[in-house]
A and B are shown apart, each in its own frame.
Chain A
Amino acid sequence: MSISTSNAAPVSGQASSAAAPEPEELVQLLTPEGERREHPDYPLDLSPEEIRGLYRDLVLVRRFDTEAVFLQRQGELGLWPSLLGQEAAQVGSARALHGHDMVFPTYREHGVAMCRGVRPEQLLELFRGVSHGGWNPKEHGFHLYTIVIGSQTLHATGYAMGIQRDGRVGAEGEAALAYFGDGASSQGDVNEAFVWASVFHAPVVFFCQNNQWAISAPLAKQSPIPLYRRAAGFGFPGVRVDGNDVFACLAVTRQAMRAAREGQGPSLIEAFTYRMGAHTTNDDPTRYRLSGELEEWKLKDPIERLRAYIAREGLAGADFLSGVDAEAEELGEQVRRACRELPDPRPMEIFDHVYAEPNSQVDEERERFAAYLDSFEGAEHEGDR
């Protein structure tokens, strides 16, 4: 063994690979130009109405997201993590779900949330700072947002283990879907979730939106190999799908969820996409990435390609497209109004729901704080606090 003793060589950077990398397979059913492609493993037969439905979803989701960015700029929200560019990954995967399936999102799955029937203003609560949640996860089969990177993948796996124990695996079964990011793929929790899911053969699908960035860290900081290939090492299938292709995301997720529901175990989907906006409204991506990249991805826009396909195939007339646009404008207005109308929480709500059962410590502090508020001259009415 020869050991280099030179200090001069830099230690960071990529391991050099002798052979040119093989092109990675990317499941694509709709090209950026809007041309339909067939894939032997992922047949997809959609009616014109279903296709129009997907288009409408994409447009409404983007409109909602754009509105939320505006609301943040106007000071109505503290923060907003935009999903711009990831609409197809979210709508396609969400439309593959059954009502009984359970979704475990990150903080960016606004499109999935809307498909699961969460109301837009409920999604704003966390970011307006009026609550830590906003909706009842059980009502929507859509868990609360998880900000701590990767945690939810374990929750999804445990939930899936519950599905097994309830005997709900089979033809009419249920499954869990865990969303996470390319950055999250480095977290211990995510890797442990892979181990658990694989060892217990749990009905869970891991849906990684590889948007190429984790704040300022490009994918290369997380992995020198494509993320979908990690699955093989854990013992389950992995597939990379064009994340800007709503058809492919739908077809691939449908198949993975069906397999999970039917007892074939977990799988990993890597949706190859791009974060078109800043990480959040607090972020300034010009500090760390080149605009050329953005321009390249603009050509792969998920909505443009579906619109081109619809036009080419004559699946909808101008009145449908303008109708969707009008609906989107209406949604924007409704979101604006609903956001401003979200009531501020009352101070005493700090003490609500800390425990499921009565708790003497919280009760004592609640009373003491109420007395403190009352001690101010002209204290608000008891009802206000």
Chain B
Amino acid sequence: MPTTTLTLGRALNAGMRRAMEADPKVLVMGEDVGKLGGVFRVTDGLQKDFGEDRVVDTPLAESGIIGTAIGLALRGYRPLCEIQFDGFVFPAADQIITQLAKMHMRSRGSIRLPVVIRIPFGGGIGAVEHHSESPEAYFAHTHGLRVVACANAVDAYWMIQQAIACDDPVVFFEPKRRYYDKGEIDETAPLESALPMGAARVARAGTDLTIACFGPMVKTALEAAAAAEEEGRSVEVLDLRSLSPIDYPALFDSVRRTGRLVVAHEAPVAYGLGGEIAARVTEECFYQLEAPVIRVGGFATPYPPARLEEHYLPDLDRVLDAVDRSLSH
């Protein structure tokens, strides 16, 4: 199997390129996506190769980006929008929540809006405010949208193509602090051979406890599992990948085997996805649970200044602390 080594960012680029080659209706649009290639260079070279009609540097207005993407989709295009940073999606929130998410239902299925919204998300890069947020729960709470997060280069490559191919709108979260992590990708494999976008993946098998996580936290959870192993604990890491809907069969299967669940995300724990997951797992796996579901994540505060983010972000120690608390029950 011929593979290429790509960073997560380059893998996204390669995936987008492949989708654009396969379907002339795919358009890339966003701020600075053209000559600059995006502030993280994820769209690097696409405008050069596909032209300004297909890789569109938009005016500086997020509501405009998503609103016009909806119009383009109504004309049969498949817009692939980039929001420059997580904190800047909110001017587009109205178009996403009141229009994009609801048009299919309102039209009784006659209108499909295959719009993808790529959002670099999460902290850990020492940025100023609004550049480190994890707004996934807002969108997961908006039904009519699919919400996914990739955690590694291989998933980035396949999932972006699946998101583009999906006939529902997809909010696609990219773990910005992992853009430079590398993976081995078989670019000759057919798209159908990839794990479906909606499926969770066991990133590491274990028997004593499950950590459910996604995006940037998968790597942290894998490190925690490796550290736990040294103390004789076998921790399973489940990369959820799809956040709406969640692959509950895979999650329940894991929890029924291990009997313990820790949910980790960077977003605040309070009112976050972890609460939803804990409730569902408690409903479905109550008799197999050996301990309450434990959540680890951000605090009930705005994201702090960069010099405090190491304390805010759930790191190896915080995840291990959650693992210990679960195992001590």
Residues of A within 8 A of B (CB): 10-13, 78-79, 107, 126-132, 147-149, 183-184, 186-189, 214-217, 221-222, 282-283, 287-288, 344-345, 347, 349-351, 354, 361-362, 365, 369, 372, 375
Q: Is the CB of B35 within 8 A of A287?
A: yes
Residue of B nearest to A187 (CB): B61
Assembled-state Cα–Cα distance A214/B34 (Å): 13
A181 CB → nearest B CB, Å: 8
**B57 proximity list for chain A (CB < 8 A):** 216-217, 221
* Contact pattern, B 298-322, Cβ under 8 Å of A = 1, otherwise 0: 0111101111100110000010010
What is the distance, in angstroms, from B134's C-beta to the closest C-beta of chain A? 16
Knowing A216-B32, A347-B311 are in contact, say whether A11-B305 is a contact too (CB < 8 A). Answer: no
Identity of the chain B residue whose Cβ is nearest the Cβ of A125 in the assembled complex: B305
The verdict on B58 contacting chain A, using a C-beta distance below 8 Å, is: yes
- Chain A residue nearest to B44 in the complex (CB): A287
CB distance from B45 to the nearest CB of A (A): 11
Q: Chain A contacts of B127 at CB under 8 A?
A: 78-79
| Contact of A78 with B128 in the complex, beta carbons under 8 Å | yes
- A282→B39 contact, CB < 8 A: yes
**Given that A11-B53, A147-B130, A361-B270 are known contacts, is A183 also in contact with B312, CB under 8 Å in the complex?**
no
- A10-B51, A78-B128 given; 16 more Cβ-contact pairs under 8 Å: A10-B52, A12-B53, A129-B307, A131-B305, A147-B130, A148-B90, A186-B64, A214-B31, A216-B36, A221-B58, A222-B59, A345-B307, A349-B308, A350-B299, A350-B311, A354-B300
Contact of A149 among B60, B129, B300 (CB under 8 A): B60
Taken residue by residue from 20 to 56, chain B's Cβ proximity to chain A (1 for < 8 Å, 0 otherwise) reads as 0000000000011011110100000000000111001
Asked if B87 CB lies within 8 Å of chain A CBs, one says yes
Taking a contact as CB atoms under 8 Å apart, the answer to whether B308 and A345 are in contact is yes
List 23 contacting pairs A-B, 8 Å CB cutoff, sorted by A: A12-B53, A78-B126, A107-B128, A129-B128, A129-B305, A132-B302, A148-B87, A148-B90, A148-B130, A186-B60, A187-B60, A188-B63, A188-B64, A214-B60, A215-B32, A217-B31, A221-B59, A222-B60, A287-B37, A288-B36, A350-B299, A362-B300, A372-B318
**B90 cross-chain contacts in A, Cβ below 8 A:** 148
5 closest A-B pairs by CB: A129-B306, A216-B36, A186-B59, A183-B60, A288-B35
Q: Which residues of B contact A375 (CB under 8 A)?
A: 321
Cross-chain contact B308 with A147 (CB below 8 angstroms)? no
- Which residues of chain B from 52 to 105 have any CB-CB distance to chain A below 8 Å in the complex? 52-53, 56-61, 63-64, 87-88, 90-91
Known A-B contacts A10-B52, A12-B56, A126-B128; the reply to A215 vs B300 at CB < 8 A is: no
Chain B residues within 8 Å of A345, by CB: 304-305, 307-308
Contact check, A217 vs B60: say whether CB atoms are below 8 A apart: yes
Residues of B within 8 A of A131 (CB): 305
**Which residues on the B side are within 8 Å of A189 (C-beta)?**
91
Chain A min CB distance to B91 (Å): 6
Which residues of chain B are within 8 angstroms of A10 by Cβ–Cβ distance? 51-53
Q: Least Cβ distance of A360 to chain B in Å? A: 10
Across the interface, do B60 and A184 meet the contact criterion of CB distance under 8 Å?
yes
User: How far does the Cβ of B53 sit from chain A's closest Cβ, in whole Å?
Assistant: 5
CA distance A215 to B36 in the complex (A): 9
* B29, chain A: closest CB distance, angstroms: 11
In the complex with contacts A10-B52, A217-B60, A222-B60, A354-B301 CB distance below 8 A: yes
Q: Are A78 and B35 in contact (CB under 8 A)?
A: no
A10-B53, A147-B128 as given contacts; A351 in contact with B307, CB under 8 Å: no
A119 to B127, CA, bound (A): 22
Which residues of the partner chain A approach B37 to less than 8 Å between Cβ atoms?
287
- Tell me, in angstroms, the Cα distance from A221 to B311 when the chains sit together: 40
A210 to chain B, nearest CB (A): 13
How far apart sit A79 and B64, CA to CA, in the bound complex (Å)?
28
Inter-chain CA distance A185–B302, complex, in Å, is 28
- Nearest-neighbour CB distance to chain A for B215, whole angstroms, equals 21
- Contact residue among A13, A129, A186, A372 (Cβ-Cβ distance under 8 Å from B61): A186
Which residues of chain A have C-beta atoms less than 8 A from B307's C-beta?
128-130, 344-345
> A328 vs B39: C-alpha distance in the bound complex, in angstroms?
34
Residue contact A127 to B58, C-beta cutoff 8 Å: no
B130 & A217 in contact (Cβ 8 Å cutoff): no
CB <8 Å contact, B128 and A362: no
Residue of B nearest to A363 (CB): B300
- Which residues 129-144 of B have a CB within 8 angstroms of A? 129-130
Q: How far is the CA of A342 from the CA of B91 in the complex (A)?
A: 34
Bound CA–CA A79/B130 (angstroms): 14
Which of A11, A130, A186 has the most chain B CB atoms closer than 10 A to its own CB? A186
Known: A10-B52, A126-B128, A350-B299. A187 touches B91 (CB 8 A): yes
Contact B39 A215 (CB under 8 A): yes
Question: Is A350 in contact with B35, judged by CB distance below 8 angstroms?
Answer: no
Interface centre among B51, B60, B129, B312 (most CB of A within 10 A): B60
* Minimum Cβ distance to chain A for residue B309 (Å): 8
